[in-house]
Amino acid sequence: MKEQFLERMKMYLKDEFLEYEKTLEEDAFRGIRVNTSKIGVDEFLKLRICDCLPSKICPQSFYISNQIKGLGNHPAHIAGLFYMQEPSASSAVEVLDVKEGDWVLDMCAAPGGKSTQIAAKLNHTGFLVSNEIEKKRAMVLMSNMERLGFSECMITNARPDDLEKEMQGWFDKVLVDAPCSGEGMFKKHEKAMEDWSVEHVEACAHRQKHILDSAYEVLKEEGILVYSTCTYSMEENEEVIFDFIQKHPDMELMDCNVLFGREGFPYENLDVSKVRRIFPMDQGEGHFVAKLVKRGSSKLSKKKELDTTIVPNYVIDFFQDQLYEQPKYILQIQDKIYIKKTPFIKLKKIHILRQGVLAGEMVKNRFEPHQHFYSAGIHQGQFLKVYNMNDEECLKYLQGNLLQVEGYKGYTALTWRNHPIAFAKGDGMVLKNKYPKGMRIH
């Protein structure tokens, strides 16, 4: 551990520093968060996937032992019933207080922990824009949103100031979980420790202020902005918030109104009783959260909807063969077909990785469905053709094998304990494996 970092922590924590220093020798906290858009917490606990200790930070979050391995290959994880997330990482979205029907922007969203938490709270209502500036990380974000089965969302790969130009005044809620020096992640990511320096801290703070300026522009009047980091430095936390309010005096700091964590460190005349900090002594790996409301007016960019696409009859035939309730909005982009419950939004210059559910692709006058259709399709309406796999069949299938099951013809939704997990193509004698090769377990 770098001596300069420890000296700064000693200055911050004073009498608590020795207690903090002991935590550096302990394992990092681990946890999972239940995806309540697919399963209730009580129903999830009945699955007995592993021992779960409730978190005071979020009702859907639980601590798990560091000895538990292989959860990523568990059918419940593959089915999107939970997300692996250390409980203190759920603090910012709890403070954001998302309501069904909200329009929400997660401005720095990868790998998707907070976006999936927001989407679960929206419960297939409203609209979520999940943005990530780095392309590779944006692809990981999209993969997690797909696995957990969300439909009323858009994944973008853009700079915050580009979002600002096209989305002024659109959002009820904005989350800026800002790129930071990651001091709270030292136990989890050695590189964060190796990269640490005071200069890096200051560079992060400079970037965070610019991101917040863009967040200000996309926020509605009376909209809520939550700023969070996973670092301890005052330069990236209290000082950033103080400077932001000085620049935007119509932004009012609100009480986070939660019981977890502790108040911030004294800085200028900032009311640090309203912000929250989480240290390892508070059962978390290190987070800062501040909540603000925009009292001033907002410029408003016009929202434009994309025209509904007229698709070939064989695409419509596929949906009628698969679903009780037909998709309300269908969009064709080249050979790919997307579906949503609400109209598709048109953007001019923002790179959109995905909007709505990728239902599948048109190939030589036939339709080939995509895994996303089945991970999220149950929210478009119950599937007409379903085979519920037992544990043994599920493992076999996820490894890439076919199932010796008779009586099914055509594309069939596969479930595990009645939760959609994959799909197959039946010929009446067997269910042929259609689970994506890159996702199969070994």
Dihedral of the CA atoms 140, 145, 148, 152 (nearest 10)? -170
Contacts of 56 (CB under 8 A, 6+ apart): 259, 260, 283
Residue closest to 89 by CA, chosen among 249, 229, 272: 229
CB 326 within 8 A of CB 308: no
Is 230 a catalytic site residue?
yes
Taking each continuous run of H as one helix and of E as one strand, the counts in the chain are 14, 23
Question: Degrees (nearest 5) of the Cα angle 305, 301, 92?
Answer: 95
- Whole-angstrom Cα Rg for the chain: 23
Residue closest to 351 by CA, chosen among 185, 139, 86: 139
CB 55 within 8 A of CB 61: yes
Residue closest to 355 by CA, chosen among 367, 369, 372: 372
CA–CA distance, 148 with 168 (Å, rounded to integer): 29
Q: Are strands 127-131 and 103-106 parallel, antiparallel or unpaired?
A: parallel
Phi, psi of 344 (to 5 degrees): -75, 140
Contacts of 267 (CB under 8 A, 6+ apart): 234, 238, 239, 242
Given the residues 108, 180, 204, 230, select the one marked as catalytic.
Answer: 230
Buried b (16+ CB within 10 A) or exposed e, 221-236: eebbbbbbbbbbbbbb
Burial of 18 (0-12, 13-18, 19+ CB in 10 A): exposed
Contacts of 327 (CB under 8 A, 6+ apart): 319, 339, 340, 341, 359, 380
Using DSSP, state whether 118 is helix, strand or coil: helix
CA 116 to each of CA 90, 138, 375: distance values in angstroms, whole numbers, following the listed order: 10, 14, 14
Q: Are strands 352-355 and 357-363 parallel, antiparallel or unpaired?
A: unpaired
Residue closest to 185 by CA, chosen among 88, 64, 275: 88
CA–CA distance, 173 with 215 (Å, rounded to integer): 10
CA–CA distance, 137 with 145 (Å, rounded to integer): 12
Using DSSP, state whether 62 is helix, strand or coil: strand
By annotation, the residues acting in catalysis are: 230
